[in-house]
Structure 1
């Protein structure tokens, strides 16, 4: 543990949030949903893996099983990203976490675990009176296997051509033939890959060797299709017949496969948006039939023939789930359930509440938002720290009310005079405004502010 300010109040009802700090704000929406059922104030103990210089939130515990090793190797002022499987396992067995759960259960009958992603390595739900408020862990893990996704959905929705290879040797054999048939290239990915970490656009066998080396595994090969748009759809499934679509955002992809942010609402025309709603609803029906309950996302491309093609399922909350919550709170009728509340109903009741309202595919509310995640690709040193801003939600209210033209918040900067390892989120920014171009310009300026805090090591 590198930080803790958890203080237990006997007057409050508690649940646990377990996941990266970028989605910590979702806990506020769940707390609001749980309050009427508990008849007392609801608080959240958030357990996060982010190693930051400061934490401006209440009831935060930051821990990583890699902390001692990385401090020994790189010094005490170190920031890095912990693999979520390692983090979930560490949380499940940490004495301080187990003691906190015991204290909470001494004053309430049950404890919910609210996770960014349901992971089998998280075993706290094996404890008596502790339950996971999210998708089944084993099923979520299965659904996040990209090869399984394509085989599951190949006859249900439009998708790019694909092959599944069981080994590196088979990959090399199959790809040699496919390069002739797929002249624009082959997108090669390991079954479990996120944000471009274990995937690459390849155009010859040497590209595969340079990216994946000699490490053997299964692989998914998909035909690379030149395209302009990379839409992503956020949804919730309560059962095979109840699939809620929260909306469509346009992803910003760098280097062909590295996700760095999103903008909303999508620039796509209504025809494409309706097709995206339809395909995602069909995905929800399929995974709902397997027993999946909760939030999920789907990524697509729009090819040059204006065809929607499926790319992947994210069997978890999306990185911009919080921004969708903030936006929906402004555009839906008062009393409409939030996305965490819909997930609560999906998991506990297998249905949505009667007050559920889905936004229209071509929603144009008069304001827009954009995000950018600044992720390091090499080891860097931070010179100074950007102030931690907690007022993201207020920006959405102000933009919807028309009291600001545009503004942004800079969030979760790692801190000053810190060594930051490759693959770490240095900071992120969220811009909100009345005009997409103004939001884009604001994001560029914020990105430069973040970059100005670092120097790259030789």
Structure 2
């Protein structure tokens, strides 16, 4: 059981607490939830965030950091390391942690129930088996089933336009099927493991050697789909409340590098109104299917739009999207005061099965808000030589730009810190840029990347560096 890397818990009297368990990038999403719970129950709520992000310092209240890989990485590199851990491993580690369980017992001595809020509901999370503890979110076993890419394609193939695909049961079947398909699918094969997201566990293959190098003979199920050359990768964020009650938060354009590597999103989508309405229609169809599967809560759908403006379904993310916070900030500035935000919609979906009062979708962009995100991922380990002050003011930045107090702004969030090793596969920081025009966003993202680059030393021969 890993030790707690950092903790600054300070509980107040006359306050009920829920636990957020997930990455630090969604910390501020919980502020929307605590405000909603305070209104719903007419008493003060706050939250304790349990995250895996190992940084030099933290500018966040009531934070606990647990990373089951940090000790191994520290031994490898001989210094502090920012490293990424899978969501299921992190959830299992938190669930087994005696100090977290003691914290829950302490809270239950003071309040009747402890809610858990997660980025993704996972079976490895077992704290909800404690009497008095429940998850505000989709059923974890339903989510696991839905997040199988194979299950998605098998069930949605007859109700949506889905890219041509094949299912392979084992590595030998993958190689044999790929050899056959490559003769007719000349633009390439998109190959992924059953569970894959953001380019992890997937590849666009143009030859059998690409597949062998990527998957290293792992004998498990695979999904192969025909790669379609295209320019646009829209994503839709939504909430399942009832079979006919599917809330659409908005449509953004994903930024995909090297064909399958997600690096961020841009809002609003540049696609025309007809395509956007069709994307929303398809998402409602998916939401209705999710409801019949027993799913309630926030989800995302990814599509592609080819050169003929034909839309193809790519995948469901049965969880929150990386841009859930940005959409909350956009909705808050675009809808009438008192309109429920996404965490409140999810609470009602899971606990009441109806929309909360004053629910309204965003039909336009009245404040002409434009924003973009960029996830600065490290592919070969680096060391930092400087830090960027931590900011948790994203919501305030949206408000100032929407009200015209700022023309544009950008924020660098969750920077690992100074004299840290950032391991391969981890994020050194995240950028959010906003304004009233796409050029405002691009300027902010470019400046953010340049600023982060100034904090990086690319060394060879340092510890485990390549």
Q: Displacement of 1:438 after TM fit?
A: 1.7
* Counterpart for residue 315 of structure 1: 318
Q: 2:438 aligns with which of 428, 436, 439?
A: 436
Query: Which sits farther off after the overlay, 393-402 or 342-351?
Result: 393-402
Question: Any conservation in 1 of the 2:344–2:356 contact (CA below 8 Å)?
Answer: no
Q: 1:427 aligns with which of 408, 429, 432?
A: 429
Post-superposition Cα deviations, 1:365-422, rounded to whole Å, max 9, x if no partner, equal: 4121111010100010001101111211111111111222211111000010011110
Question: Which runs of no fewer than 5 residues in structure 1 stay unpaired?
Answer: none
Distance 2:303 2:114 in 1: 36
* Counterpart for residue 412 of structure 1: 414
Q: 1:263 aligns with which of 262, 266, 275?
A: 266
Question: Which runs of no fewer than 5 residues in structure 2 stay unpaired?
Answer: 461-466
* Counterpart for residue 113 of structure 2: 110
Question: Any conservation in 1 of the 2:170–2:218 contact (CA below 8 Å)?
Answer: no
Distance 2:7 2:211 in 1: 44
Q: Displacement of 1:364 after TM fit?
A: 5.7
Alignment partner of 1:238: what SS?
Answer: strand
Distance 1:218 1:123 in 2: 26
> Does 2:282 match 1:282?
no
Post-superposition Cα deviations, 1:414-434, rounded to whole Å, max 9, x if no partner, equal: 010011110001000101101
RMSD between superposed Cα atoms in Å: 1.1
Distance 2:130 2:65 in 1: 22
Question: Any conservation in 2 of the 1:378–1:456 contact (CA below 8 Å)?
Answer: no
Alignment partner of 2:195: what SS?
Answer: coil
* Counterpart for residue 447 of structure 2: 445
Post-superposition Cα deviations, 1:120-146, rounded to whole Å, max 9, x if no partner, equal: 001000001000110000110111111
Question: Any conservation in 2 of the 1:13–1:38 contact (CA below 8 Å)?
Answer: no
Q: Displacement of 1:444 after TM fit?
A: 1.0
Question: Any conservation in 1 of the 2:20–2:116 contact (CA below 8 Å)?
Answer: yes
* Counterpart for residue 378 of structure 1: 380
Q: 1:397 aligns with which of 389, 399, 403?
A: 399
**With structure 1 as the length reference, what TM-score do the two structures score?**
0.98
Q: Displacement of 1:36 after TM fit?
A: 2.1
Q: How many residues align?
A: 457
Q: Displacement of 1:346 after TM fit?
A: 0.1
Distance 2:130 2:78 in 1: 36
Alignment partner of 1:109: what SS?
Answer: coil
* Counterpart for residue 78 of structure 1: 81
Alignment partner of 2:339: what SS?
Answer: coil
Q: 1:57 aligns with which of 56, 60, 77?
A: 60
- Kindly report which structure 2 residues correspond to 1:1-80, keeping only aligned pairs within 5 A, or say none: 1-80=4-83
* Counterpart for residue 145 of structure 1: 148
Question: Any conservation in 1 of the 2:28–2:392 contact (CA below 8 Å)?
Answer: no
Distance 1:39 1:272 in 2: 42
* Counterpart for residue 326 of structure 1: 329
Q: Displacement of 1:270 after TM fit?
A: 0.3
Distance 2:221 2:151 in 1: 11
Alignment partner of 2:278: what SS?
Answer: helix
Query: Which sits farther off after the overlay, 64-73 or 276-285?
Result: 64-73
Distance 1:69 1:58 in 2: 27
Alignment partner of 2:415: what SS?
Answer: coil
* Counterpart for residue 463 of structure 2: none
Post-superposition Cα deviations, 1:21-57, rounded to whole Å, max 9, x if no partner, equal: 0011110000011002333221101000000111101
Query: Which sits farther off after the overlay, 423-432 or 30-39?
Result: 30-39
**With structure 2 as the length reference, what TM-score do the two structures score?**
0.96
Q: 2:215 aligns with which of 212, 217, 236?
A: 212
Post-superposition Cα deviations, 1:313-347, rounded to whole Å, max 9, x if no partner, equal: 00100011000000000001111100000000000
> Does 2:445 match 1:454?
no
Alignment partner of 2:11: what SS?
Answer: coil
Distance 1:221 1:162 in 2: 5
Distance 1:415 1:454 in 2: 10
Query: Which sits farther off after the overlay, 125-134 or 33-42?
Result: 33-42
> Does 2:182 match 1:176?
no
* Counterpart for residue 302 of structure 2: 299
> Does 2:89 match 1:89?
no
Distance 2:392 2:264 in 1: 19
Residues 1:151 and 1:363: Cα distance change in structure 2 (over 3 Å) = farther
Alignment partner of 2:218: what SS?
Answer: coil
Query: Which sits farther off after the overlay, 448-457 or 137-146?
Result: 448-457
Post-superposition Cα deviations, 1:57-100, rounded to whole Å, max 9, x if no partner, equal: 10000011222222222224111001111110111111111111
> Does 2:246 match 1:231?
no
> Does 2:190 match 1:190?
no
Distance 1:44 1:354 in 2: 24
Question: Any conservation in 2 of the 1:249–1:264 contact (CA below 8 Å)?
Answer: yes
